Structures are given as structure tokens and as C-alpha cells.
Structure 1
Amino acid sequence: MIFETVDKVKEFYKQYAIRCGFGVRVRSSSKGEDNKLCFVKLVCSCEGNYVSTIPPELKSQPTKTKNYGAQITVVKKGGQWHIKNVILDHNHDLSPMKSRMIRGNKKLNIQVKRTLDMNDETGVRINKSFQSLVCDVGRFENLPFVKRDVRNYIGRQRRALGKEGDDQALMAHFSHMRQMNNDFYFEINFDDNNRISNVFWVDVRSRAACEEFGDVVSFDTTYLTNKYDMPFAPFVGVNHHDKSPDGILTDQCRAMQNAIDIVFPNTPHGWCLWHLMKSIHENLQGYTHYKTIKTKLKTLVYESLNVHQFESGWQQLMNDHDLDNNDWLGTLYEERKRWVPCYLKGNFLAGMSTTQRSEGLNAFFDGFINSITTLQ
């Protein structure tokens, strides 16, 4: 068989699995030289060997999952997906009538979700909503989900951002601020379910300060994460009456680095030295001479007066302790111009090597907000 896309392959095998009475998951996949998917293996959800972490003496019936063989393998050739290998046999009993109970086969479609949302808004209890859905299809077995799935969905919706009026209150407040001054700026992004995914705002005074005195900006995303799993990430500027080259200081985050390279290609970007030094223990503690390595590394970073001294000292450290194969140190060395002080002498960072100013402002916010504070 031949399919146009890998998604059609997955849907076809999933529908086959539902009819037969088993679940499906992706066992393995790989990409080609063009970094695009070219191979996928789909297997029965019971496939694989699993040994419980609970000691056998504490279990009344110790179990071990068998290595079931049912699977299909598909490869991409000439823009289409071809089934390369098929194994239909299972080492367990199949139950088509109970297929809907398998996790991967459960599904709440858009119509069901809309009905549940409307019922919940009007105060209808969850068990009554579920009973109404059963009545619509005639019997429990005709529903591709169970009551627990309904309860979980309603729970997620109640916790969703905007359910408590945050989104309306936020929009009203921002609109009011915009009416007071057209230079107030805000941006709100929504996800596929029309719920707020992130918010950015900046008042007029901050915009003016950034334009006139924005010598250096510190951006810290490690601060408070609220009830919606959204971090509160303030931009902290360093004001100075001399117009100096712009600079930005963040922790070691690849995503932020990529974004800064695109949006601010001419802005010197430094990494927080304190965060890097703090991670030494996590990445090097397994070495026999860890304490010696740590001391030498800190001395090398903080006391190297020039690039040549750092380069020769780094190579000596790698040779003395056989550290050439350490991936973490290799990455740090490749990005040394972002965090080693002797490389940053030509960049203006207002005397900062850490995001300490951001953390200082975080302490200010602690007096007003906490992890359960809503956007409103």
C-alpha cells in the first residue's frame, strides 16, 4: 500500500487497530540527510519489555510485559510513503468490543467538546452531561470515551486561561491604557483553542526610557511561573545618560540566543556568568579530581587578563584532566565569546556579568504577586 503522507498512514493503522481491539504507538522513526522524516515503525501499544520498579517481594502478582510483534514499517520513497514490512500476529487476546477503553483510541470530537463546554457553563453536572451523550448514541459501548475522559476534559477547561475572566479583564485594561495614551503597546497571542498563550506589554514610560537610556537589557525567564504554567519574564534596563552601544544579558538558553540573533543581530549578547559557574557541579561532579578541576576552571575564567592567556590555560586544563570529550565544556568553549570576561572587554554591559539586576527586580515583584496570581 502507498500513502501520500505519514499522517494518513498513522490514521489508517489506528482505524485498523480500533476494529481489531488494540492500541498503536510509534516505536521508532528516523530522518534523512535533508532532516525530514523518512522512516516510521508503528507497533501495538503493548509492545516492548517492561519490568516494574516495585520490588517483586512487595507485589502479589509480579508481571512483565511481553514483546508483542504486531507492527508495520513504512518508508518514504519519491515523496510517498510505502509499507515495507507488516506483522499481524499478537501474543495477547484482542477485544474489539473494548477497543474504546484503550488510551490511544479515546477521542472527544469538536461537537462533544462544544456540548460539554455549554453544559458546564450553564451549571450542568458532569455525570448528567455524560448521560446525555450516552442517550444520543444509544448505549455506552457506542461512545469512543468513558466518563473519566469527560471529567478530565472539563477539569482542564476549568483550569484553562481565560475561564475566570482573565482574558476579558486583560483586554479591557489594555484597551483602557491605549485610550489614555496611544503609545502604550501590547501584543497577545492565542492558541488553536482561542485561549491566550502569551502576553507582552510595555508602558509609555518604559518605552521612552529604553529609547533614551537603553544601554543594556537583562532578560530573565527563570522567575515566577503562575497557575497557568506561564513564566513572568520582565525586561530590566540599565539607565545611563551616556548613549552607549546596546547589549543584552540572558542565561544560557538556546531558544533566546536564536531569537536575539534574528531580532537584534547587531546587539552584543552575553551569558550570565553566575548561572554558568553554578552548573559546574552538575556537569563535572562525576570526575575523580572534580574539586581540582572546579578550582582551576574558576581561576581561569576570572583571572585571565587576555584571550591568549585564557586559550592556553583552557587547553592545559583539558589535557591535564582528559576533558576533551566533555560535551558541556565543548559547548562552553565554542560560545566562549558570550561569557568569558576577557572576551567581553570590548562590549558595553554596564559592568554586569550576571542577571543579578533582573533577580533584584524579581524581589520587588514578590511583594505583589505569587504563583496563584491571575493575569487580572
Structure 2
Amino acid sequence: MIFSSIDELTEYYKRYGQSMGFGVTKRSSKNGDDGKKYFTLACSRGTKYVSKSKNLLKPNPITKTQCKARLNGCIGLDGTVTISRIVLEHNHDLSPTKARYFRSSKKLEPHLKKRLKLNDQAGINVSRNYRSLVIEAGGYENLTFGEKDCRNYIDKVRRLRLGTGDADAIQNYFVRMQKQNSQFYYVVDIDDNSRLRNVFWVDARCRAAYEYFGEVVTFDTTYLTNKYDMPFAPFVGVNHHGQSVLLGCALLSNEDTETFTWLFSTWLDSMHGRTPNAIITDQDKAMKNAIEVVFPKARHRWCLWHIMKKVPEKLGRRSDYESIKELLHDVVYDSLSKSDFMEKWEKMIEDFKLQDNEWLKGLFDERNRWVPVFLRDTFWAGMSTTQRSESMNSFFDGYVNSKTTLKQFVEQYDNALRDKIEKENLADFGSFNTSIACLSHYGFESQFQKAFTNAKFKEFQDEVAAMIHCHTFIERLDGLNSIYSVIESKKKFDKIYDILFKVSFNEKDFEIQCMCCLFQFKGILCRHILCVLKLTGKTESIPSYYIFSQWRKDIRRRHTHIKCGFDHFVGNVELQRVDKACAAFYEVASKVINSDHDFLKMMNWIKDIKDEFASKETSPANIVEEDGSEQNQVTKILDPVKT
């Protein structure tokens, strides 16, 4: 038989499969040496079943039976399609009455798509929407699709659509927030039909926090992709307590290079053009392209967890999978140097004959983006994954759910952020009001105890405690420049083994560096450097440049004095005036007062202003008595606004 196009043949074979009672799938396609294109359409129950279940006691249903029924076709040089071979026999039962459930038989006609769209806009839920189509068709058996197909289509439509009410509400909310604080920043992106497409916003406090915590940023879009109409895309940093801090967020309609480029550029504008030194994302080509355009100088790291999670999928079918997996973990996590990684990687590829594995080839070519030993010379705030973004996402779980509308989501953002700020304030109080007892008598531990927040001092103490597992000796002494060897004993799989670390120390300039690069990576001195300081007797104090400023508790950070644009200011002009005055005064106090003379001048000016205001008589209409009522005005208390 000859057909005019591959689509015509595919539809013909699908109709044949539906009449006989089997599903159809496209199996393969390749270009021949003769210039023709060859392809195969086959029974959906073909190929061999491979179990992907992680629990042997709960196996997945088996659909594959290695059925040989298939159709081979060829696209000629003139564009016509010819059937070259066909196998009609199946090795399983056929049922025409059940054929409508096969994926290849499902089809949603354009006029039905329009009906579903209109009914959804009218507020009719998917179940009722689908049942009306069933009744109209005269029964389920007369439809070529199921309720799940309707739900998937409507979800796709909603992703690109925001109702007028939602769009207006979001716009009004943003305008209101900006009136309360001019530093509230938002951008609404619309398409050619004036439909809302993407939304980005960041409040004044988050923008100020970026000044201190914007060196390393994680960005992730996986949280809301399947639960909500639009993916939620937060920019997240790490504060001085090691907590996640929000640095802006967006709701997106697409996840392509154009959308990410728009978002990154918008976010950069909101942060006064200051790019982060490093950014962590998942292994997404669109994100990579956008980052290269907008943040060309930033170090871009792929989430290590997302990459290692793909190992079972990419290599799990091999009989020697467990051995490869164990060796791959050793190569990735336990390589001490770049040369060590290269040597182990090459040995793994050769021993298991993985030269033709395209996935591993691609990872090796991009090793500078994900292998820890290639990245530890850069400050990442101790992060190797987008877990920060995911933890920020989970923080919103108590405020939004699968039924939350977009305008509700934007408003609930305020409530969630308020809790986040309270947690930071509590941690600030904890570091102010309490201290963690030192483990040793070394002066440098006391120095870090006074400088670091409690959470970060605990991490430093972990290094102090681990000194017990280290043995230090001088390898080479060259004047004031010395090389020390630190042998650390570690336990793995109930076995104890030793690892050698080299530490260089210039006593004149007090420059000390370890090959583990923990200080560069995390901002905390490692156990190996502490051992060298102990051996050389430099235990009383260390230079301040080794006390990483991002972890200090004695720094006054501007963002902690900025009120967020929460709606409790709405309609309260007095609170708005007080907030603006406090913000203006703090700017003067933090940037202008640099001496006792400036301080006295400012205090005298404040005293004069207070005396001037005190001399003015207050209007009787605004005098509030002890019971809280006003003498000349009665205000009716209304019900809360319904959500």
C-alpha cells in the first residue's frame, strides 16, 4: 500500500488497531544510506518488560509481552510512503471493545477542547465538565478520551491563562504594596493578546537582604510544576544562621530559554545590576543558556542530587549496575584532587566498558559544573544542591495548596514570609542571648564563639571536635613558608582508612590553605588547618579575614530594620508615616554618623524636633481616652474580608 504522508499511514494503522483491539506506538525511525527514511509502527505491547520498581514486593503492572506485530514503512525520495513489511499476528488477546482505553486511540477534537475551555472559565469543574460530554455522546464508550485527558488539557490551558479577576487582583495588590514601600519591586509580563504571562516580585526587605546574602543563589522551578497552574520560581540565598532567605520569586507560564532570560534580567534589575558570584540550578539546558546570557561571569553549578538521582535510570539496566554505582559514588564524592578524579573516572569507563555511554560523556564534558572537586575553590555557602530552593518551597506548604488561586498565592506569600522573618528574629535573639560553651581551651575557638552566630559556631565546633581524628607533621620547612601533612582517619562501611591532606602556611603573612578547600567552599576553617595552628602554637587568635563576615552575629544588617510591605499597613496612614520616618532615620544613622561629633549633632537635632512637636497642641477630635474610644468619632467594626 502507498500513502501520501507518514501521518496518513499512522492514522490508518491506528484505526486498524482500534478495530482489532490493540494499541499502536511509533517504535523507531532512521535515515538510510539510500536517502530514504525508514520507520516502524508497532503494537504497544511490544519490546521486553524491565522492572523499575524499587520494592520487589510491590512490582509495577506488566504491559509488555514482546509482541512482534508491527508495520515497517519507507518514505521515498518523492515523499510518498510505502509499506515494506507487516506482521499481523499478536501473542496476546485482542479486544475491540477495550481499544478506546489505549493511548493511541485517544483523541480530543478541537470543538471539544473549546467546550472544555469555556466551561472551565465558567467555573464548572472537570468532573462535571466531562460528565456533560458523556451524556451528550450517549455513553462513555462513544468518547475517544477519558476524564484524565480532559484534566490534563485544562491544566495546560490554565498554565497560560489568568482570568481577568486574577490579573486585576494581582496588579492591584502589587500597586498597593509599592505605595506602602517604594522599594517593593514587581514586573508583570503580558503576551500580544494582553494576557498575563509571567509575574515577578520582591519586597524591600528581600532586596536589602541580597546586599549581605546574595553572593550565592539557588534557583529551582520543580516545586509547583505539577501542583499548580504556573511553576513557582524562587531565588534563595543563605543568611547568617544558615537559614534559607528569599531573594525574589516569580510565577511562570513557560520554562524555556526566553522566559528564563526575561526572569533573570528582571531579577538583576531589581538587585541594582549586582550579579551573584555563583548560582545553583538543576541540569536544565534552558536555564544554562539564560544564565550564560544574563550572568556570564557567575559560576554556574548543577544540583549534584538531581544528577546522581538519574544514575538508576541511565545505568540501572546493566547487570553490573551495583558495581558501577558504588565506584561512581567513590569517583564523585571521594576524589581528593582533579587529577585523582580524572584517573578514577578513566579507570571506571575502561573497566566497565562505558565508552559509548552518551550520558556519562556529557557529564564528563561538563564536569566543571557538578563534580565537587572541580568546584570547591569557590564559595558556595556549603551548598552542592538546590535543596535551599526546595526547603523554601516546602515553607510555603502551610499557606498554599492545590486549590489556591494565583491571586491568593501572591497574598499568602506575605503570610509565609512573615513567619520566615520571625524565625530569623528568633535565631538572632538566640545568638544574642545565649552562647555555646567551648569544647577546648584554644583561644581561636573562643574568638569564633564571640563572632559567629550559634548555628555557624556549632559547625565550627564540629571541626574542632574532629581534630582528634587527625595526626599532623611537617613535610617541608622553607623559611616562613611551610608545607604540613595532616592524616585524617575516617570510617566507611565499618572500615577505618587514612586520608592525607596537605596544608601550606606562610607565617609572615598568616596565609594558610588546605587542599580540602573547606574555607573557600563553606567559609569555615577546616580541622586540618586547625591542627596546623595547634602544632605551630598559633592557637590564641587568628586574623579577622578568616572569620567569614556572612556568618557573624555582630554585624548590623540593614534588612533587619526594614518592615515588609504586609497588608497590615493598608488604610493606616499613621503606621505608614512612622514606617517611612524610621526607614529615613535609619539610613541617616547607619551612613552619616561616623564620629562622636556627628552623634551629638544628631541627638541635639532630635531633641529640638521633639521640643517643637511637643509645643504643638493636639486636636481634641483625636484625643483617645483610656477605654480606647474617641470622644467625637465612633467607628463601626466590620467583619473580616472573606477569602
TM-score of the superposed pair, with normalisation by structure 1? 0.61
Structure 2 CA distance, aligned partners of 1:218 and 1:93?
Answer: 52
Which SS does the other structure have where 1:234 is aligned?
A: strand
Structure 1 residues 311, 201: CA separation in 2 closer, same or farther (over 3 Å shift)? same
Equivalent residues, number: 340
Whether the 8 Å CA contact 1:185–1:203 is kept in 2: the answer is no
Which SS does the other structure have where 2:389 is aligned?
A: helix
Structure 2 CA distance, aligned partners of 1:236 and 1:266?
Answer: 19
Structure 1 CA distance, aligned partners of 2:38 and 2:162?
Answer: 44
How does 1:315-334 map onto structure 2 within 5 Å?
Answer: 315-316=343-344, 318-319=346-347, 325-326=353-354, 331-334=362-365
Structure 1 residues 85, 262: CA separation in 2 closer, same or farther (over 3 Å shift)? farther
The answer to whether residue 109 in structure 2 is matched with residue 109 in structure 1 is: yes
Deviation at 1:76, TM superposition (A): 2.6
Whether the 8 Å CA contact 1:108–1:144 is kept in 2: the answer is no
* AA at the equivalent of 1:184: Y
Deviation at 1:234, TM superposition (A): 0.8
Structure 1 residues 338, 93: CA separation in 2 closer, same or farther (over 3 Å shift)? closer
Structure 1 residues 318, 353: CA separation in 2 closer, same or farther (over 3 Å shift)? same
Structure 1 residues 250, 22: CA separation in 2 closer, same or farther (over 3 Å shift)? same
Structure 1 residues 187, 31: CA separation in 2 closer, same or farther (over 3 Å shift)? farther
In structure 1, the partner of 2:234 is 234
Whether the 8 Å CA contact 2:68–2:87 is kept in 1: the answer is no
Whether the 8 Å CA contact 1:24–1:42 is kept in 2: the answer is no
Whether the 8 Å CA contact 1:220–1:355 is kept in 2: the answer is yes
Deviation at 1:133, TM superposition (A): 3.5
* 2:143 aligned residue (125, 142, 145): 145
Which SS does the other structure have where 1:369 is aligned?
A: coil
Structure 2 CA distance, aligned partners of 1:321 and 1:125?
Answer: 55
Deviation at 1:270, TM superposition (A): 1.6
In structure 2, the partner of 1:219 is 219
* 1:287 aligned residue (319, 323, 336): 323
Deviation at 1:81, TM superposition (A): 4.0
Structure 1 CA distance, aligned partners of 2:294 and 2:36?
Answer: 30
Q: Which has the higher contact order (CA 8 A, sep 6+)?
A: 1
How does 1:239-278 map onto structure 2 within 5 Å?
Answer: 246-254=277-285, 256-261=287-292, 264-273=295-304
The answer to whether residue 137 in structure 2 is matched with residue 133 in structure 1 is: yes
Structure 2 CA distance, aligned partners of 1:48 and 1:329?
Answer: 25
Structure 2 CA distance, aligned partners of 1:49 and 1:15?
Answer: 25
Which SS does the other structure have where 2:217 is aligned?
A: strand
In structure 1, the partner of 2:30 is 31
* 1:358 aligned residue (384, 389, 401): 389
What is the percentage of aligned positions where both structures have the same residue?
A: 34
How does 1:168-179 map onto structure 2 within 5 Å?
Answer: 168-177=164-173, 179=175
Deviation at 1:269, TM superposition (A): 0.9
* AA at the equivalent of 2:322: G
Whether the 8 Å CA contact 1:210–1:237 is kept in 2: the answer is no
In structure 2, the partner of 1:56 is none
Which SS does the other structure have where 1:235 is aligned?
A: strand
Larger gyration radius, structure 1 or structure 2:
2
Whether the 8 Å CA contact 2:137–2:143 is kept in 1: the answer is no
Whether the 8 Å CA contact 2:71–2:86 is kept in 1: the answer is yes
1:14-71 deviation line (CA, Å, top 9, x unaligned): 34556x545551352223399x9932222456767889xxxxxxxxxxx9969464x4
Whether the 8 Å CA contact 2:311–2:325 is kept in 1: the answer is no
Whether the 8 Å CA contact 1:178–1:185 is kept in 2: the answer is no
* AA at the equivalent of 2:170: F
* AA at the equivalent of 2:389: S
Whether the 8 Å CA contact 2:283–2:307 is kept in 1: the answer is yes
Whether the 8 Å CA contact 2:275–2:295 is kept in 1: the answer is no
**Runs of 5+ consecutive residues of structure 2 not aligned to the other structure:** 51-62, 179-183, 239-246, 248-270, 409-643
Whether the 8 Å CA contact 1:25–1:44 is kept in 2: the answer is yes
Structure 1 residues 45, 269: CA separation in 2 closer, same or farther (over 3 Å shift)? closer
In structure 2, the partner of 1:202 is 201
Structure 2 CA distance, aligned partners of 1:211 and 1:241?
Answer: 10
* AA at the equivalent of 2:323: Y
In structure 1, the partner of 2:478 is none
Structure 1 CA distance, aligned partners of 2:129 and 2:393?
Answer: 42
User: How much is the aligned-residue C-alpha RMSD, in angstroms?
Assistant: 5.6
* AA at the equivalent of 2:187: Y
**Runs of 5+ consecutive residues of structure 1 not aligned to the other structure:** 52-62, 135-139, 305-309
Structure 1 residues 108, 254: CA separation in 2 closer, same or farther (over 3 Å shift)? closer
The answer to whether residue 333 in structure 2 is matched with residue 298 in structure 1 is: yes
TM-score of the superposed pair, with normalisation by structure 2? 0.40
How does 1:46-195 map onto structure 2 within 5 Å?
Answer: 67=67, 69=69, 71-78=70-77, 80-87=79-86, 89=88, 101=100, 103=102, 104-114=104-114, 130-134=134-138, 144-145=142-143, 149=145, 151-152=147-148, 162=158, 167-177=163-173, 179=175, 184-187=186-189
Structure 1 CA distance, aligned partners of 2:340 and 2:111?
Answer: 67
Structure 2 CA distance, aligned partners of 1:33 and 1:207?
Answer: 58
